[in-house]
Homo-oligomer: A and B are copies of this chain.
């Protein structure tokens, strides 16, 4: 790990607490969840980090309602059902989930453990790491306008943490999905206690007069447009105006090629999420075409103690199927045990017959 900074821990732990753990799983998609299960059977409680605010990964984000037919012994299930079933399965195993954050850095410490830090300042000191990051962390699709990213985290945002921050502002929203329309409705009406957070004006821009939001949300949105509580403009963002480092307006070009400058204080963009490999590429792990190279004995990356399972890894014969990721979790969990509990002989036990596993799973053993 070329960029490991030994000793950084002591400096940085002055202010924030560090969670010590045997295992960190990066990614709460189906494979990350099953990694929690396999670790749990070995009595290893994992901490799980995911960019999304909920479990399921691609299954939750890309195809929650679409049928999957190739999970073994499950003739058909949706991405949502698959996720829910895995969440039920791991419920007894006591994992801790850290949602809505990505891992920014992994640093090997002097004692061999890894300091994992996330975008929400969660800090974990882990004996082992399991990267189950699939196609990468789901992050907002950015607005493709040259130079506009300079306003990110100032006047440009891709999510709303605190609607009160936009009270009495002119807010321009770009997008047609549920998040975009919900945001428009929320800022337009303020909160339930007398609307103190109501924006001064809310304008939503989308390239055509149709939405991917749910019919109910779309109906409420159109009603507020009709009542002139908010504005809807059909057109594409094609530029912006700034003055003295302040974003003043977004230029929107309509289908009949007229460009309007829409004045704004804040620009909120909701164009969905797309997966990004992100900082994984900077962790010093061997990559091959953006995949982490692993062995097939324990699915270890080139850095001992860091394993990779699921769509993010590659090895001869690799097929990017959920069922293959599930298998990899088994061997990765066993492969990690010499690091987690050195010197202990770990035996494979069967959930059907092992009273020890029945205890771990919270089910009664039958005589």
Contacts and interface: CB of A to CB of B under 8 A. Distances in A.
A211 interface: no
Of A86, A321, A353, most buried by chain B (CB within 10 Å of CB) is A321
A334 B319 contact: yes
A69 interface: yes
A7 B328 CA distance: 43
A125 interface: no
Contacts of A331: 317, 319, 324
A71 B351 CA distance: 10
Interface string A47-73: 000000000000000010011111111
Contacts of A343: none
Contact of A330 (B67, B297, B324, B348): B324
Q: In the complex, which range does the number of interface residues on chain A fall in?
A: 35 or more
A74 interface: yes
A355 to B, nearest CB: 13
A220 interface: no
A63 B323 CA distance: 23
Interface in A325-365: 326-328, 330-331, 334-335, 348, 351-353, 357, 361, 363
A319 B330 contact: yes
Contacts of A30: 72-73
A16 interface: no
Contacts of A34: 72-73
A296 interface: yes
Nearest to A315: B296
Contact of A351 (B68, B330, B361): B68
B363 A67 contact: yes
A320 interface: yes
Given A319-B348, A323-B327, A330-B324, A357 B69 contact: yes
What 5 pairs between A and B have smallest CB-CB spacing? A327-B327, A297-B317, A69-B351, A296-B296, A73-B85
24 contacts: A41-B70, A63-B353, A66-B366, A67-B352, A68-B351, A68-B352, A69-B351, A70-B351, A72-B86, A72-B322, A73-B89, A74-B74, A74-B89, A75-B85, A75-B88, A76-B363, A79-B352, A296-B296, A298-B317, A319-B330, A319-B331, A321-B348, A323-B326, A326-B326
